[in-house]
A and B are shown apart, each in its own frame.
Chain A
């Protein structure tokens, strides 16, 4: 996977592998400066650390604030959770219906990302390996989907799902999520599979392995790294997806987390504000992503930057 990014960072690099120098060693003490020097550099370094501190600080602030009572937050947003108000999480999970929403979101995330992979991996394999003319056209049909925002397809999608009685249904949301994410999944996986060597498959074919078996037993293990990356990226996309759920789901017991959060804020306008419960809800939505990021961070970063560096 490490090669996934570095091999493709520049097209010139990719087209002439024999000319490429090894990755530049980072010489310490070299006179060669790449970026700014002197004062500009010092100012830059200070700004970079301020930005980093801001991001870490925001996260810590959410963590601390989710354990403070509404009254304490309202008096001053700066403060420590002494004593910690764990009842915020009870409020969020039960009154705010974040519990059921978290379950729905997890269901969509796991079901959606696995189904997307089951659909996309076989297609990506034939698109990556086929030499037929039609495969270029089909690839382009998937590629269109990357450039078209989901707001453009939502109206016909809504009408279609309504006729199937799938509005306000998790099945309807599931189908919409598949449609919204299939182009991106197929395109990135095709790109990844193209970069894999052909030799093993040829050897398998010579040994009389059927194509399906070659796909399943040779290609899938070879492409494991790309598959895990795309499973992760789709999981992140679906976990955070708001727009489709906002349009397609109305009942609170079928809602997903980001919309439950918006609903919680809406209810505060009539029931009185509860910042403690709000930030507990924020944490329910954010924490799984943070943990995933700590676990698979390098893979996520490489996968997301792949689109541009290809």
Chain B
């Protein structure tokens, strides 16, 4: 009896997931009330001591809490108690805005760098120095100059997503097959029309690969940036729940960050497939 590879892989995935949940459950189950402890001290220690409950939430606790969140994703009880949907929306909004500005800057600039060897050589030292800077290192400078924490976070997203897009666009544009350019040249196609009808479609898969790398980095960075600037967003939520010592909520946030990151990546992957044509 042989199943398709997909099915077999799915079965293994489910088994691994079940095993993980099982181990997690066993590791965090109640060990019974602590003995040999003075009742006064046990009261101070809370449930851990009085009922032997693990300090780490088990899968059932996380599942119940997750269900609670999913039922009310958009409630708003003031600055420190907002639904996860609202927090995620803030984060996605910041990422979207910073990323969009990065697209608007990086793609035209990448075209210029890719098409002009002079500009490419002239900008190269700046790009080489600016690219490896951790985006969070810009945060103090951004806060000092912009004087708005939310806009600073957007700036940090912009600065971290601009480089992969810029470099990939330049690489894709510079690497367009010479024959395609020659086709346009023999047809006396002007520079602007050539850029849109030959270079852009030819470089599109490379450009979108850069955009896909960028959205991944942007989503990594937003969590850290929001932990710093605070106020709203999923990063802030993680830090706030850590201050509340609600490990359950921290785990839920981690899970959701992963799922949203995967979705963003999949969206870009789909766009990449749409513009990729085999020769």
Q: Do A and B bind each other?
A: no
